[in-house]
Structure 1
Amino acid sequence: MSGEINSVYRYVSHILWLAFVFITMLGGAATIAPAQTSFFGAPKASYEESEYEPSEEESIEISAEYSQQWEEDFVKVSILKGNCRIQQGDAVLRSRQMVIWHRKSRKTDRVSVYLEGEVRVDLPGESKNENSLLVNLVTQNGVKAKIRRSAANIASDDDPLLKRATQRRGVPHDHQLKRAQFIVEKPPLEGPEFAPMPEPELNVGFRRIRLFPRSAVPYNVQSFPSTHTVPPEQIWVITGGVNLLIDGVNGLGMVDMSADRIIIWTDGRDTQNFNSEIRQSKETPFEIYLEGNIEIRQGTYHLKANRAFYDAREGRGVMLDAELKTHVPELGENIRVRASQIRQLSKGAYLAQNAWATGSQFGKPGYRIQSSDIFIEDRETMPWIGSGSMELDPLTGQPVPNKRAWISSSNNTFLVGDVPLLYLPYVTSPAEDIYFPISGLRFGNDRIFGFQVETEWDMYKLLGLERQPGTEWKGQVDYYSYRGVGIGQSGNYNGSNLLGFDNVFNGGGKMFYIHDSGTDNLGLDRRALVPSTKDRYLINLQHRQESPFGMTLTGEGGLISDRNFQEEYFESDFDSAKDVETLLHLKQQQENWSWSVIGRTKLNNFNDTTDWLPKADLYLLGEPLFGNLLSWTSHSSVGYGKLKPAAAPYNPQQDVFTPLPFIADSQGLVAMTRNQLEAPFHLGPFKMVPYVMGEAAYWEQGLQQQTIDRLYGSAGLRGSIQFERIFADVYSPFFNLNGLAHKMSLEGDYSFSDSSENLSNIAQYNEFDDNAQERFRERLVINTFGGVLPPQFDPRFYAVRTGAGRGVTDPYYEMVDDQQVLRMAWRHRLQTKSGPPDQQRIKDWMTLDLEASYFPDAQRDNFGEDFGLLGGHYQWFLGDRTTLAANAYYDLFDGGQELWDVSLTSKRTNRLSVNVAMQQIKGGGGLDSQILSASLSYVMSQKWSAGISTAYDLGENINRGQTLSITRTGADFLMSLGMTYDQSTGNAGIGLTIMPRFGNFGTGPSDLSSLFSSAAQ
């Protein structure tokens, strides 16, 4: 067979042979046949034949929602439940519950895992589902576990899962991922092993004091009694540098302090000779004065001061001209508090006066928070939603609170250098949120919004709430001199086990309000639109939840004050984000079937929308019949729909509007069922798929509120053939070629369709455009075509020509009609190999796809032209960083589309990125645009980067706009200066964005473009 294909390949290049192939396709003889030759080695073996063994040098990672664990005969046994996952290398195993036996030796960890309930095994290149599975794993790099809730020392011998796992473990199993095997122990590293010597345990009620020289120079001691106090005291004066360790301080553990000079007062009634180690009762007074280069270490706190006093009995102290430093793991760096005076009130509780706090490690930071008082304490915190990720107390079963450093401060001024910017009277938050609540600041000025100040705030920090894992909560306060003051909230979240059920969820929301005193400028003929209300707002909330058995729940809620608010203030979201909707959607998908129910309603009257009250869909895909001779695909839908056409604009003289012709005020029952049968077979090297599809549909009200019954049927034949030729000796380092394979396929799809009802009578209940496109169509008829839409630009007839609604599962099934068409494609892939010799991978070097459609009834189906929808798509990957691309789409009838574009994208280094593109959009009615665009970004140094972009319309000889930005990345701040010009709106503006680099929560350069979503740009 391979010889036949290669023989055919030699003649493909001849034009006559190609014509013969296409003529054959016209008769229904085309479809893809699988390649018979392998370019990069033999075909991959089946799952049963393959055997993947993860490397023992890779660690084992285990995660679950809940765990019980205990130890039996030096083996740690664990029962895991809820979203269980275990991974070693590229092997990933998942199930609802697991039992794990973990035995640890000196160099290796051996782990036996029993998985049960929706077991899935993902290996490189293959996956498999099981009801249960037993797996043995070995690693030399340790076992890591991430459990949300755990209970220790709880044996569960009567647990049914443990019984099944133990029974399964006692018999051999054929599906082991990796059998236990003899491990060659690596020789130990040279040199002795050192283990820390245990400290002698102190008797309860006693403390121990030890003194050491601070350097190689011994210290000096003077000792004398003081009889002027009651009771008498013994005084020791130590000079020359001393290090003092105190064990047994109430609740504090060890206190480590050192200074140039120390004075100690203790009870004189229990006088003893001075010694480098002293033991005494915890109730015995022991007071210390320190002076000169003082350092005190206590737990995670490190203090420095010039002078200090410390009372070991009370666990309190005072430090003058001091600095406190503590490491915050959540932040990934140290927090510094500098003050004229720091008082230690108890363990982990400090009060700093006339102080400033910062996360910067510079001596004098570029930014800081100056406060009159800063109070730092170790606080036990409980999440305010759910139980969080805390461990459970094995005795009470209750969550064990987390302990974390907490900071409260009064009279706070945020300083950049020595310049005060913002003031807050009181702030309280965890130490990782020490920074001022503002997370972004932007100044700007343009012709639409005037002078602008946009601020973004961390609401957790501002309100003094504990930051919840997996959540982000931002506040927004903006000022626009031409428009007013705007306030907003935004955030997102993700997590699992919502309300105690097994699920994974995520979501987010955005709210914004402004009392707007200006007019909207949306470009071209819409530069001074008066809003229908001055109180303008947007609310958009979204939630998605995935549960076992393939269940997915999606909820959305959205409300906008008026027609143009989102396009004016959130233009990026209006153009490219999902529409703001209010709906509830429940879906279940299992294997090749699924069902869904959706309820949706419209809260705004200025967009075309369909209310579904509700709608249900049932899908069945590729069900084999008669021993795989036939394949059955089905889609049925029923619902009560209510079409709501968009209301006219508030000022239609300026904001032109034409209602879409396929949207009417119709409502009622909408039902449909589609079924398709396919019978694939091979005819020599051709793969043939004859098919037949039938549909019965019902609309209680059509475009003229009439009842519509439609029967639709389609029959056809898809065919393809694939060729392959290997050029193993082709090699060129200049063109990045290491061998070359040419893979080519010829495809054809002939179909004959007939409908009992004309499409022009059917209302479009199922939307196929988003709101931004519909809004454009409502204006296009008047401002481009003078009030009459040419039929070649009717979007529904274009969808019929392209076959957008012919598929069984297509959501907008209304868009079909009588049609006869042959769709043809000629696809090419030139592939090579790249990477190191032992790990080479296949990649596309060049691709070319050519498409065309032939319409036998051209007058009815294609405006009198036999051929149409001519398309081409080309890509040349010159290297890993450079791509040349070109696309074209043409129709041959008068006034047809003539679209093409060509672009070159190059990122030759990590510092320079360039894109140059040329695009043409041309059609009937005088639509003609040729836009040349270019953009460049360049990192000049570690501190400076710049970007520039421009666009010019050669067809209309109009400058479309430019942008320029310069960014400085400093140690404390990231600042960006941007300038823009937009010909459409006539707007020119300048903006300065400042973002503090706050530890791991700081915003990087890539976040500049998305810091503020408002359109004051």
Structure 2
Amino acid sequence: MNSAFRAMIIAGVLLSLPATAPSVRAQQFADGAATQMSPAEAQNGNSTASVSAFGDSSEPVRIRSAFAETWQLGDSAIHALRGGQGVGGLAELQHGGVSLSAENLVVFDTAGADGHLIRVYAEGRVLYESHGQWRHLTTHSMELTSAGPSEISSDYRTTGDPQSEPSALVRRAIARFSPTRDAGIVQTALQVGPDTFAPPQFSTVPEGATPLSRRVQIRPRSSQPLHVESSRSTDTIPEEQVFVISGGVNVLIEGLQMDIGGRPIQPGLVDLSADQVVIWTQPNESVGLEPGQTLVQPASTRFQVYLEGNILVRMNQNTITASHAFFDANNDRAMLLNAELRAYIPQTGGEVRVRAERLRQVSADRFHAQNGWTTTSPYGRPGYRLQASDIFVEPGPISPFTPLDPNTGLPLRGNPLWVTALNSQLMVGDVPVLRLPKVSAPAEDPHIPLRRFVVEQDRIFGLQAKTVWNLSKLLGQPAQPGSQWDLLADVLSQRGPGIGIEGTYDRQNSLGRMNGSSNIYYQYDSGTDVLGRDRRSVAPEDSSRGGVIWRHRQTLPGDALLFGEIGFLSDRNYWESFHERRFDTEKD
């Protein structure tokens, strides 16, 4: 799945909406977007319940992760933990009857006279459990008390430099616990007095660094003027500025950045059009959000958009239509109702269509589509389609050949995304021709070196197992642009094993463009050749057989062309016996 395609699949909880005011309907969308459902829950039809949790201050706080980075600032220790030691890939925290697991954890451990006050911030696939009751969350924060420091078990640990700029994860955790944030924190175990959390003092951003910003412009979709209502909402903490715009609205957003699978994706200009739009943002960062004006605000500023009625979203050459939509730029949440995505495929010049009743994005790299289908047919009623009751796109397992960061031991480009479809059907017209209860496959390169595996059976070679392996991935080397080299490994039950190397290249050198192909293959043959009517059992000259072929073309200055071939065959019958099609069509 390419970056533009992944960035287009923005979705969230979609509800059957009553005929209420746009701002009320929009708030219903936002309230439901944090609820997350797993493939198992979708298959079983179950949801989760939320409860309060209480820990035990006499027990230590135990944390397990794949990677941990620690800063020591006076009496406080800060731990940034990523990944897990188990199959799920989640960092885990245990304290009495309370457990917390997530993709990322930040722990502030402050020593005091009565023990240790431990603040925990979690984000990404958060699972919070207390005495057998659990809930899924997008982010979570809580306070714990313990007689001793937190006990951390990690596969790879480093010590951070207090003089360096903290990571975005640590900055988000600091913002969550900052005294300027009025939202309450879940108290588990001993109830303490007023929050005295002091944000740790890292060095500031180096001079000359430019923070990310976004530019927002609102304009009418037609010649009719817009109707704009602006008010400050005091029902939220902190307060928000709410804009309700109707009359056919076009919203242009530039400078967005999405984090998909650990990789920053900048889709460029996002063009949103709808009959009505509701926008939430910070009051002090909303000056200029008027029709015809351009608002420039930091990328960290809260910015949420709800749209309804004839929605059209354009990003590059991709479009989405929907009846209702919600987009949260800061929390990687979005939702679409009755949505259809048309994504351009540059390799074929065509489009792929994805349609669903409900599309959700529940975190930066987790998506969920309900009652959807996909097809490459351009017709409104496609003649063929692949449909499913639930489709999940989420990080999956990594292969042993996945490139790892030498400093962290984690995947260099994040975990590969996998697609899981439940109750899948391949439809031709309205007739199902194939049913599968559950299908799971990588949505992008899973870094597995095996490129092809074929099993065949015939009377000449017997049972055949033929494999093609990506040589670069097999050796753990980066792929060279413009070239592809494969290892061939085959077993023929009536003839014997074979092994070889096959490759193509198309590159530019100092003389000009060069391209070519090469094939080296060795076959151990314990059988006889079957070559025709009067040659049904021809014994080979030697049991060691094979060939070498290299073809090369080099463009030279002055429109000159240099080309050549080198070939070698072990015997006159090898080519005809093992590669009959190439024997009939290629040069002798």
Classify the TM-score, shorter chain.
0.3 to 0.5
Output the TM-score relative to the length of structure 1. 0.26
Larger Rg: 1
Output the TM-score relative to the length of structure 2. 0.41
Which gives a bigger RCO, structure 1 or 2 (Cα 8 Å, sep 6+)? 2
